[in-house]
Amino acid sequence: MFHMTSCFSLADGVSVEELEARLQRFVQACESEGLINAASPLGVRQQHPVMDTDPRPFSHCFSLSFADRAHCDVAVKRFFAERYAEKDAHESLFAAIHEPQFYCWED
């Protein structure tokens, strides 16, 4: 499986509950279009002096899972299209986060 983890802080004025609702809407839209295989729940960063070495001040994260890199590339291409079915959900989610960092990995 190929995965993308998004790490970020909440945008000003956005509650965790609102972010979770936006994330669920986005995940459901992507699943219904076959763009992702699964998504993790919203995670809250837990600072640890040894195990957490990233100095950036993000507060939350989630991961999206794809069958493989090619499947991820299909989703990326779709998200950069001018019009796509998940656009409103994608833009709504992106508006709720601040300074996102994306990490891809495969298992």
pTM to 2 decimals? 0.91
Tens-digit pLDDT profile for residues 9-40 = 999 999 999 999 999 999 999 999 999 999 99
Tens-digit pLDDT profile for residues 51-97 = 988 888 899 999 999 999 999 999 999 988 877 878 899 999 999 99
Q: What is the DSSP track for 38-88?
A: EEPPPEE----TTT----S---EEEEEEESSHHHHHHHHHHHTSSS-TTHH
Tens-digit pLDDT profile for residues 95-104 = 999 999 999 9
Q: Does the pLDDT value for residue 2 go beyond 90?
A: yes
Q: Determine how many CB atoms are found less than 10 A away from the CB of residue 98.
A: 15
